[in-house]
Amino acid sequence: MTQYDFDFLTIGAGSGGVAASRRAAAYGARVAVAESVRVGGTCVLRGCVPKKLLVYGAHFAEDLRDAAGFGWTVTGAAFDWPTLIAAKDRELDRLNGIYVKMLSDSKVRILEGHARLVDPHTVEIGGRRHTARHILVAVGGRPELPAIPGIEHAITSDQALDLKALPHRIVIVGGGYIAVEFAGIFHALGVDVRIVIRAPMILRGFDEEIREHLTAELTKKDIVIQPETLIARIARHGDALQLHTDTGQTIETDAVMYATGRRPNTDGLGLAEAGVHVNKRGAIMVDEWQRTTVPSVYAIGDVTDRLNLTPVAIAEGRALAETLFNDNPMKVDHINVPSAVFSQPPVGTVGMSEATARMIGEPDIYRAVFRPMKNTISGRDERTMMKLVVERPSGRVLGAHMVGPDAPEIIQGIAIAVRAGLTKADFDRTIAIHPTAAEEFVLMREPVKPPAAKAAE
């Protein structure tokens, strides 16, 4: 029998890689993790966590304004961006330490340096070669920038998390969740924000009415959303930047942030040399068991460019460890995975959109739009929207969508019901918690008129 240095060697110490490695080690495997930067990965160090901390910090601006309606007089309130960034950095340092300790406590060895596959069982890290029975690639992705003149003047979400000072004006190019989340952060902190997108509307892939509702709410806040526009080139003009569009328009700004997508971080990994197939975007091709075209090499998370969510990467990593080291073959079901957009107001969603449901049948649609109780006294002109997509005639809830305060927290619970295949009748039989916004999900009684009926009126 061939003797390897490790039973399991993971390339990338992000959330998915750490989860897989710890689970494998718990089953007695000899495990190592290779990492070239810091343990924690995109989510902990450059994505979900720091971004959510900035969302919290920015939201105090609205909370302070709302307080007046409830009898509070707040004087002398001031915001300091460097203080928030320093607090964020301290928390990331703490989390990095926790991740390192978790690996150490699990008896997982950390190998520092850039990793490269040499062959199906060998990885070179910092000039030293290590062998493993199984190799896992979990290196995630990185922001992608277009090749246009002047792109060196642009920043990505990585740099936005570490700005030394807030700009007075910023243009955010892109309409996905990263773009609208940073738009909310910057706007709440006093920055003049413009979102420029090539599509007609933000949040492509989400339910159409959710997109429309969030667009309306962002517009109320004076965030400018400029659709069907491409930036052709960027030029420095004194202390400002000039963005020249494909229609001949010139937009002047102090900073431009691109959030136009992410690319699998597979460059320089030696994948082709080892026989691991990738697609045109550099994503590693895997089957339902996370196996690549090389039997001993696996991949999970954003590097596969399938469903780029941290909890999905973690689930894939744990399932792989169960399969390889616990004699418990396990696959991850990528259907009905809930997700959130931490915009202001936030979005929560699970299951099918209305458009997807109409491709396979004629669903019933239930919708509620209302002013949350808090806003009635604060005077805030912001409305919540909730929506259920229901299969006809079975009554099974195919999708649930929400825009409004606490949407991600509420949808997490609703996702269990959707995942379990519960029906609209099950929702109706559930007693409401009053007064809450969440109760609307069990109080919607009459479906809205279908598009054909509306058109006939």
HEC-encoded secondary structure of the chain: CCCCCEEEEEECCCHHHHHHHHHHHHCCCCEEEEECCCCCHHHHHHCHHHHHHHHHHHHHHHHHHHHHHHCCCCCCCCCCHHHHHHHHHHHHHHHHHHHHHHHHHCCCEEEECCEEEEECCEEEECCEEEEEEEEEECCCEEECCCCCCCHHHCECHHHHCCCCCCCCEEEEECCCHHHHHHHHHHHHCCCEEEEECCCCCCCCCCCHHHHHHHHHHHHHCCCEEECCCCEEEEEEECCEEEEEECCCCEEEECEEEECCCEEECCCCCCHHHHCCCECCCCCECCCCCCECCCCCEEECHHHHCCCCCHHHHHHHHHHHHHHHHCCCCCCCCCCCCCEEECCCCCEEEEECCHHHHHHHCCCEEEEEEECCHHHHHHCCCCCEEEEEEECCCCCEEEEEEEECCCHHHHHHHHHHHHHCCCEHHHHHHCCCCCCCCHHHHHCCCCCCCCHHHHHHC
* Candidates 121, 130, 237, 434; catalytic one: 434
Is 114 part of the annotated catalytic residue set? no
Residues classed as catalytic? 434
